[in-house]
Amino acid sequence: MAKKKDDKKSTQKSENNVKQHKASFSPFFLFASIAVVIFSVSALQFYITLTSVPDLPQLDLDKCWGVNCSVDESIRKFRIVFSDAMLENIRRKFETYRRATRMKSLEESASYGINSDALGQVFAHWQFKYKYPARQRYFNHYEHFKTKIQGLDVHFMHVKPQSKTVKVVPVLLLHGFPSSIKEFYEAIPLLTEPRPGYDFVFEIIVPSLPGFGFSQGPVRQGLSAYQIAIMMRNLMQRLGHKQYYVHGGNIGHNIGTHMATLFPREVLGYHTTFPINFSRVADLMWLVGSVFPKWVGNEFADRMYPLSEKMAYYLEEFGSLHLQSTKPDTIGIALQDTPLGLGAYIIDRILAFTDPTHKLKEDGGLSSYNTTDLIDNVMVYWSSGSITTAMRLYKELVKNRDIEEVLAQIPTPVPTWALRPKHELYHSPDFILRWKYPNLVGVTNFDEGGHYFALEKPTVFADDLFKAVNSFLKLKK
């Protein structure tokens, strides 16, 4: 009898312990369950936000950016002129050049930027070997024009092929910063001459982007890449081209990809040497790849990772972009006051973004380019006084990033071809590119070259553009 009572007490005690145990854990389990639900909903919402395709924004296709907004559809001939007064001003400023003392510890590198010895080579060439009359004739070898687009005088080169026996296809070539129309000069004759294996040649349109070179800059805020895309489309319509092909590199890619997104029925094919997906989900995948680099980067993982090295490179080299996107007018005042200072800034950026190892060389990679070509590019900015208005575009990209990001999220059906140089600033693998460009027709992976590919490798650039457009044309048949 006593044993039964003990068993009953033991059973009751066990039941009480279980109840107390359950009671003590009930708030925890309730909290955990709520947390799991909140996390799941948040994760789902985050995924939807990242992957959802927004509606195409409604944009004003005729917004005026100039002082005079009256309609003027005339196309006027234009010549690039290096005036005597400008040349005399350059000579006077050269006379007051103050050479900086080079640090002895930097005798075998340019890790602090273009050094005084390398700049001295440019200075000597500019002073004694750069023939202004000959370079002026060189620039005017192709026909130049201006026309008013949305209130701004837009400068462009228009080169038509001489051959009458093959098909002619129009292509718009968009330069970047701090390059210019000069970027395509050596490629133009390669694109306008018939070549074996192809039944077409190109009609070339090369504009100076608004605020760059000989194109007028806006008088009001807001002219970001997507707005320039509208202007470039309106330029092509002005020239009578309802459909055409587009190439974009550097910041020209931002503009070209927006043209393909906004006007997919007009852009027949898009070629880029800066193939990158700017969407947020692409950025997230890049971060995921830092843990699984081979999974994201495939055989080109070394172009994307280690992430720590890439971020260190961006922090070192993107200081100029931060300055231009925050205080472009401040640095602009300094650069437009001295031709050699302007040259140092522009050439340093071109060399640094052509190959990251250039900074380890004594001349900073100067020998990788023809010095006259580099000075030609600087002269476009100096003779037009456009460095400040050009840099303002970076400020506008940041201020208008909401619409820029919306457009980056929208896939374009336009046939696309990507040429990926080894030393391009970013690398988007094929599967990430296809999120933005589902009709990715082809990819060329090149084991050399950088951010200014058409300037650096004009022959390879021309070959690839022919190959790309040939593939686009076959899709239409």
Clarify whether residues 201 and 327 are in a common domain.
yes
Same domain, 316 and 450: yes
Instruction: Please state, in angstroms and rounded to a whole number, the distance separating the CA atoms of residues 16 and 341.
Output: 85
User: Are residues 327 and 191 located together in one domain of the fold?
Assistant: yes
Cα of 381 vs its chain's centroid, Å: 19
More confident residue, 18 or 125: 125
Element at 443 (helix H, strand E)? strand 440-445
What is the model's pLDDT at position 409?
A: 94
Judgement on whether residues 196 and 295 belong to the same structural domain of the protein: yes
Q: Could you tell me if 306 and 447 lie in one domain?
A: yes
Say what the alpha-carbon torsion angle 40, 44, 45, 50 is, to the nearest 10 degrees. 140
Q: Are residues 250 and 154 in the same domain?
A: yes
Q: At residue 31, does pLDDT exceed 80? A: no
Which structural domain, as residue segments, surrounds residue 35?
Answer: 1-52
Structural domain tally of the chain?
A: 2
**Whole-number Cα distances in Å, 271 to 206, 289, 380, 462:** 15, 26, 25, 11
- Domain annotation covers residue 116: no
Strand blocks (E) in 99-164: 144-149, 152-159
Q: Is 355 domain-assigned?
A: no
Q: pLDDT for 288-318, tens place per residue?
A: 887 877 777 677 888 888 888 889 999 999 9
- Examine residue 135 and state whether it is found in any structural domain, yes or no: no
Is residue 429 in some structural domain?
Answer: yes
- Which helix or strand (DSSP H or E) is residue 174 part of? strand 167-174
Q: What is the average pLDDT value for the chain, to the nearest integer?
A: 89
Integer Cα distance of 69 and 47 in angstroms: 44
Instruction: Give yes or no: residues 171 and 36 share one domain.
Output: no
- Whether residue 398 is contained in a domain is answered as yes
Distance (Å, rounded) from C-alpha 134 to C-alpha 475?
A: 44
Identify whether residues 153 and 39 lie together within a single domain: no
Per-residue pLDDT band for 48 (boundaries 50, 70, 90) equals low
Q: Are residues 160 and 12 in the same domain?
A: no
The residue type of 15 is E
- Asked whether 344 and 123 are in contact (CB, 8 A), the reply is no
List the CATH number of the domain containing 444: 3.40.50.1820
Q: Is residue 379, in this structure, part of any structural domain at all?
A: no
Q: Higher pLDDT residue, 242 or 22? A: 242
C-beta neighbour count of 434 within 10 angstroms: 15
User: 3-class secondary structure for 54-87?
Assistant: CCCCCCCCCCCCCCCCCCCCCEEEECCCCCHHHH
Q: Are residues 443 and 320 in the same domain?
A: yes
pLDDT per position as a tens digit, 124-156:
999 999 999 999 999 999 999 999 999 999 999
Residues 329 and 446 in one domain: yes
Q: Answer yes or no: do 299 and 184 share one domain.
A: yes
Domain assignment present for residue 94? The answer is no
Residue 158 lies in a domain: yes
Nearest to 190 by CA among 176, 175, 171, 174: 171
